[in-house]
Structure 1
Amino acid sequence: MLVRKIPTWQTTRRALTVTAIATFVTGGAFLSAGTASAATTLAGTCTGSVNGSMGDTVAVQGTSVKEIVRKGAQDYVNSHLWTALSVWPNTIADTIAGKGALAVGQVPNAAGGTIAGSAVGSAVATALKGSNGLGVLDGTKNEVLSAVSASVAKSCGLTTIATNYVAPGQPGAGGTGAQQGGGTATNPGGSTGNLSNLNPGTAGGSGGTAPMRDYSGLPTATPGTAVAPGVRYPANGTLPGDASAPQVGTGDQAGQGADVRDAGNAQSLSSPVGPDDVQLPMLLAVIVLAGVTAALVRTWVLRRAA
């Protein structure tokens, strides 16, 4: 039996060829996967909200801004009548409608974001550069594009919502066991590490913890010192000051009797006489002096009249 011998250089060349083909196929697969991951989310209109994955490109159809572009160009013609023959609003509107999808922004790496109307207007103006119906002069073309961009910016604006966003610290954001399941019996918060090392407001695991409350300054009853009301005032006893309670002895500490101690028998006493008080003899002397003075005056008047 004859066996065909293949030279060594041919064997080496075949091996290199197979390796190159495999490398090319593998590289093409990686490139295809990278292109597929950069998806484009198409918005139905140039206003409202659009849902997509974080990092996706957001685009709007040219047909959704067609009438806005037409109005912007027509407003410019109405304010510049001498450009009516070179600026064609209908042609400009048809041109933007035929541009297909226009990239206007991107879904951020957050729960949501916004795409301003100015970004949509800038994308529309870029797509219309060099189109027919913008005018003859370069200055007119730039003014028409500015008018169209301003009209779109005034009427458009999008809100982006990331459908694959997961807030940090929530179950499912990462990790296994207690971190992903929301905690265990010994670690209810789902965080790791010693909770005593966490400060208020710091993020550790699922969040910070507040220190234990200090109740040492609150007044409390010490065991053995508090006396129950039943002990202080027995059921068969009397309260202090009870008038119905029997009086022991015939007098108090000052030796006074019950008739003086009772408030109902108290009598008012005259105040002591002071040195400046007017006594009865002096009052009688003043009255006598007044009578003598009146008699003298009467006698003197009668003599004068005679």
Structure 2
Amino acid sequence: MNFSISSHRTAPALPRKRSGRVLYASEGDGMTTRNHELPRKKPMDTTSLRLDLKIHRISTQNPHKFTSASSLLGSSCARFSKGTVVFGAWHGVIFKRFATKAISITAALPEAMAPLVDESRVRELQGGKVKPGAVVYWCSRDQRVNDNWALLYAAEKAQESGSPLAVVFNLVPKFLGAGARQFGFMLRGIREMAAELEQRGIKFALLEGDPVETLPKFVEASKATLLVTDMSPLRLGLQWREGVANAISIPFHEVDAHNVVPVWEASDKKEVGARTLRGRLAKHYPQYL
């Protein structure tokens, strides 16, 4: 990298503006400039990002013909039954066709720790006493491991009872008319999330189909005693959670992992505009920031 430096006396300093000519501050001589030739970026190798749409074609006509999940997610993903994709090796019985046998999930969670999730961030979609047993986090909107209040809450509940923890994502092939490009982008992100979970000793499962049908069967097969999910304001998501809550008999908790202030704490009514909501949000900032 070549620099052409002016004759003014200069001292090393951080650039104030990054452009073709970088402006520097000197000690006593005012401002001086350096002709800075920015290095050209090499073209990104997209070989690993390409999708053969002819092979990895996502069918939106028949969800049972969805065959791209295993291919896109790599060799660590295996399909064991129609509508079910499981990541990694399960140290127990892998249920086939949603058998009622339990799934053994190894979860490496830290020992006694202070509560991380404010209880006001959680609300019960279905109440009841949480019994010792597997905890399942139904990941939907917040597809990430870090900075995920819903995952932290599920991990805390599993740690309290010394129970295993699993994360499940339900893939809906016809969701809002998404195509191969949108699904490919999402599945690559899910693959990264699954790898991070595996590093933490948490197993991940990918289901396919209508969540109202697949989630209750997964809960029954894993013998879970608590189902946790993240909040989504979409009408379709509300219908899914209501349907799942009506189909299961265990506690079902919803966590707002997306907003700084949980929506049910921000306001209890439909606001007429942002001007009426800002004051309500500001009152809660000391608690949630």
Using the size of structure 1 for normalisation, the TM-score is 0.17
Q: Looking at both structures, which has the greater relative contact order when contacts are Cα pairs under 8 Å and sequence separation is at least 6? A: 2
Larger radius of gyration: 1
